[in-house]
Amino acid sequence: MHTDTERCVRAVQSKDSRFDGWFFTAVLTTRIYCRPSCPVVPPKVENMTFYPSAAACQQAGFRACKRCRPDTSPGSPEWNARADVVARAMRLIGDGVVDREGVPGLAARLGYSTRQIERHLLAELGAGPLALARAQRAQTARLLIETTPLPMADVAFAAGFASVRTFNDTVREVFALSPSELRGRGGKQQRTPGAISLRLPFRAPLNPTNLFGHLAATAVPGVEEWRDGAYRRTLSLPYGHGIATLTPRPDHIGCLLSLTDLRDLTIAISHCR
């Protein structure tokens, strides 16, 4: 999709939200990347370049737009439907495999060599596994910073960063804001004892009523339930177990996570998405 320049330009100029997640627009003059539906005035055509993923934009030195927040959009709809090695790799990266096992661990799970995995991802997404995992960590960190009252050190390690310094440097580079400034923009967070409360944005169009109606109708007894307007289910995670409570809202999904180990937070968010 991102290689069809004429089609991408038309989508950007018409602010067509149907293309959100299919490609990202990077502006050469401002070094900012956006969703196709970004509400700002579209840049000149000669200043536009297009990438297949947020990670590819970040790797090329662009930072996320503060208006349309392209980094918060879930993965490309194509990745969710495809069954090839790239889609499988994206799902495993979203589950934190690279953070726990490194690129060799990701390659071993897929049955390919490290070089083959890197070549496939670069060809399809414009970024290698490390860059994709870094983008995943940055997005998770932003979500935790803006929607939870967790201390910054806990946010850093829960998002998969090896150190607080790396966390601070990455947040500043990707969002052009410090973690404290991001938290200030997110407003006041409510503290829920023993649980982590999040807001999960979704890509329109989505009918949460139909989605959760299906989940309630097909719930597995003892594992899933619908109660008091919320869907609850147990989670089996690498470091322990958890319970996710998802509540449909008009513009987001309310998510309440109870985990035995905070290191499972990234993969729990991925499962909830």
Average pLDDT over residues 25-47: 91
82-186: CATH number: 1.10.10.60
pLDDT value at residue 120: 85
Nearest by Cα to 235 from 195, 260, 268, 206: 268
pLDDT digits (tens, 9 = 90+) for 247-262: 888 778 888 888 888 8
Label each residue of 103-144 as H, E or C. Answer: HHHHHHHHCCCHHHHHHHHHHHHCCCHHHHHHHHHHHHHHHH
59: left (phi over 0), alpha (psi -120 to 50) or beta: alpha
Could you tell me the CATH superfamily of domain 196-272? DNA-3-methyladenine glycosylase AlkA, N-terminal domain (3.30.310.20)
- The domain 5-70 is placed in CATH, from the list 3.40.50.1100, 3.40.10.10, 3.90.740.10, 2.40.10.480, at 3.40.10.10
pLDDT value at residue 5: 86
Residue 27 has pLDDT above 90, yes or no: yes
**Half-sphere exposure in the Cβ direction for 232 (13 Å, CA):** 13
Share of the chain above pLDDT 90, in %: 14
pLDDT digits (tens, 9 = 90+) for 111-126: 888 998 888 888 878 8
In sequence order, which residues have a C-beta less than 8 Å from that of residue 182 and are 6 or more positions away?
Answer: 142, 145, 146, 171, 175
Residue 78 has pLDDT above 80, yes or no: no
Give the pair of three-digit tokens for residue 205: 């169009």
Confidence of residue 229 (pLDDT cuts 50, 70, 90): confident
In sequence order, which residues have a C-beta less than 8 Å from that of residue 158 and are 6 or more positions away?
Answer: 140, 144, 150, 262, 263, 265, 266
CB atoms within 10 A of CB 180: 11
| Domain parsing of the chain, residue ranges | 5-70, 82-186, 196-272
Find residue 240's DSSP bridge partners. 237
pLDDT value at residue 234: 92
Residue 82 has pLDDT above 80, yes or no: no
Residue ranges of alpha helices (H) inside the chain are 5-13, 54-59, 77-81, 85-94, 97-110, 114-125, 129-147, 152-158, 164-175, 179-186, 208-217, 265-272
Residue 134 has pLDDT above 70, yes or no: yes
- Round to whole Å and give the CA distance between 160 and 157: 5
Average pLDDT over residues 166-194: 76
Find residue 36's DSSP bridge partners. none
Give the pair of three-digit tokens for residue 177: 């804001």
- Round to whole Å and give the CA distance between 96 and 175: 21
What is the phi/psi pair of residue 228, to 5°? 55, 40
Distance of CA 131 to the CA centre of its chain: 13
